[in-house]
Structure 1
Amino acid sequence: MSGPSSPGYVLVLYYSRHGATKRLAQQIARGVEQGGLEARLRTVPAVSTTNESVAPAIPDEGDLYASHEDLAHCRGLVMGSPTRFGNMAAPLKYFLDGSSALWASGALIGKPAAVFTSSASLHGGQETTLITMMMPLLHHGMVLAGLPYSESGLNSTTTGGTPYGASHVAGQDGRAVDDTELALATALGKRIAKLSQKLA
């Protein structure tokens, strides 16, 4: 947990089904660290279709599951999800739906936040996913940041990358994240790290 004398961390919170969103999260975390803050990578478990809990408390592999305490004590947040019918995936929404105690206490007010996504097709709802992911963060009082057009990749990309946040177009065959998408993800991480320090 960060205190008054520690530099704190940016929470990179994501859900990934096939790995592309996780790859963006890892690159965003690199950008956060290049920007001078610790990046804390956290994911959320899949939502069960049964009435009983089936996910272990600690995943067998990969990043740890996020807690609301991770969210409460972050200096900034970068949140990512694959596109699901133009919106965030249910596991991430489920996690946010449980954050009402943080909303009531105002724990996230004034902290910077950004979003990122991946979709199978170029016009598969990336921008609506990014914008709708912002809505609960606005309710929490966070300060939203996108990617400015000073990032040259926004003008040249033919795949992912939007002013609303970093993104990736996976295609039907699961294309790897390309250099432009990686550069924009790095830039987004750096931006939130710098804003986190300015707004502290």
Structure 2
Amino acid sequence: MGSDTATRGNDMPYVLVLYYSRHGATRTLADEIAKGVDSVAGIEARLRTVPAVSPVSEATAPEIPDEGAIYVEEEDLRQCAGLALGSPTRFGNMAAPLKYFLDTTSGLWMNGVLVDRPATAFTSTASLHGGQESTLLTMLIPLLHHGMVYAGVPYSETRLIHTRSGGTPYGTSHVAGADGSREVDDDERHLARAQGRRIAELSLGLARMREARG
């Protein structure tokens, strides 16, 4: 997979799969979305995460995570052809570490860097009614302010109708359980990969549109 090994000198366009994960469920969804992206010819996934934020963690967090994706830099966002944004829910909203990073991107907003690039979102919750859809909707707000084009999961993906855990047309989701032990199931994996393919195809299409427009 090109996601963890993508180099800055590579001319291949990429979808930035940017997530924060506390217990691993959101990271699993990110991996599945990246697989969907990588299944589309001519584009690749770039997996990145964000560090935890608190007075303690900011002082002691390593510069490189012990496992998983490396930390995102603004340049990763600046150069992406598309964005998939993932977070567990925190009281019906995205987790603070992800919002903290997005709050630092006003320079990109002022220059319209992300205008007309596609974006999508995904989430996980501890309980079935734990705020999945509200979290996805709040994640969409800063993306719209950046002028991005939001794409969810259409009902042509019939597993949206049959899933008994996560899903939603706003983006793939997962119910991890109170102790975080419930694994991402086949329906959720399928939807995440479909979401990855869709954002990859839209990224290529909108990139061609921007090039043609000059």
- Residue 72 of structure 1 corresponds to which residue in structure 2? 78
**Aligned-partner residue type, residue 184 of structure 1:** L
1:172 equivalent among 168, 173, 178: 178
User: Is structure 2 residue 66 aligned with structure 1 residue 60?
Assistant: yes
1:146 equivalent among 143, 152, 155: 152
- Give aligned pairs, total: 198
For residues 163 and 58 of structure 2, the distance between their equivalents in structure 1, rounded to whole angstroms, comes to 44
- Structure 1's consecutive aligned runs of 4 or more residues displaced over 4 angstroms after TM superposition are none
User: Is structure 2 residue 37 aligned with structure 1 residue 32?
Assistant: yes
User: Is structure 2 residue 193 aligned with structure 1 residue 183?
Assistant: no
Within-5 A mapping of 1:5-20: 6-20=11-25
For residues 57 and 98 of structure 2, the distance between their equivalents in structure 1, rounded to whole angstroms, comes to 18
Q: 1:52 to 1:2 in 2, by over 3 A?
A: closer
The SS at the match of 1:175 is coil
2:53 equivalent among 47, 50, 59: 47
- Residue 128 of structure 2 corresponds to which residue in structure 1? 122
In the TM superposition, residue 10 of structure 1 has moved relative to its aligned partner by: 0.3
**TM-score, normalising length: structure 1:** 0.95
For residues 182 and 2 of structure 1, the distance between their equivalents in structure 2, rounded to whole angstroms, comes to 31
- Contact 1:117 / 1:167 at 8 angstroms: preserved in 2? yes
Question: CA-to-partner distance for each residue in 1:73-94, whole Å, 9 max, x for gaps?
Answer: 0000000000110000000000
More moved, 81-90 vs 48-57: 48-57
- List runs of 5+ in structure 1 lacking aligned partners: none
Q: 1:123 to 1:53 in 2, by over 3 A?
A: same
The SS at the match of 2:55 is coil
RMSD: 1.4
In the TM superposition, residue 58 of structure 1 has moved relative to its aligned partner by: 1.5
- List runs of 5+ in structure 2 lacking aligned partners: 1-7, 208-214
In the TM superposition, residue 163 of structure 1 has moved relative to its aligned partner by: 0.2
Identical aligned pairs, as a percentage?
A: 65
